[in-house]
Structure 1
Amino acid sequence: MTVAVRKMDRIYALYKGDEYICDGTITEIASKTGKTRNTLYWMTSNTYKKRISRGKNRLQMVELDEGE
């Protein structure tokens, strides 16, 4: 049985282009980078991912699997 993990408890990595910035929960990344949690939540949305698809040096949040 798969248990759904709340979005705020998932682990993400933040990248600017190909450069790794940091990883952790959204709250941890917010405190490390000074970005708001709302901004980081927005960066996990499909709409944001579509909008940045043309940019090479944009910030992106990548969800990490438990095994990573």
Structure 2
Amino acid sequence: MKLTKKDRYFAMYKGDKYVDGGTIVELARKYHRTIKQMIYLTYPTTHKRAKDNRLLLYEVKD
């Protein structure tokens, strides 16, 4: 069974500093963001455009 992006586990970083981890739904609730905003932070294009201190999400794979 393939997990949807909302069900996968992500690590949240601000620059090089680890902030938190969890599913997109959990992180969106905790940090008062929409799910669409959180999904945007997972895209490779967003990672390429990011400056030094930008909030980004990276998928954690087993």
TM-score of the aligned structures, taking structure 1 as reference length: 0.80
Partners of 2:17 and 2:26 in 1: how far apart? 18
Work out which of the two has the higher radius of gyration on C-alpha atoms and give 1 or 2.
Answer: 1
3-state SS, counterpart of residue 21 of structure 1 = strand
Q: Which amino acid aligns with 1:10?
A: R
Shift, 1:47, TM fit = 2.0
Q: What is the number of residues matched between the two proteins?
A: 62
**Aligned counterpart for 2:4 among listed residues 3, 6, 26:** 6
1:37 is displaced (CA, Å) by 0.8
Unmatched tracts of structure 2, length 5 or more = none
Q: TM-score, normalised by structure 2?
A: 0.87
Classify the secondary structure of the residue corresponding to 2:58.
Answer: strand
Q: Distance in 1 between matches of 2:18 and 2:44?
A: 21
Higher helix share: 1
Could you say which residue in structure 2 is the equivalent of 1:49? 47
Identity of aligned residues (%): 39
Q: Point out where structure 1 has 5 or more consecutive residues left out of the alignment.
A: none
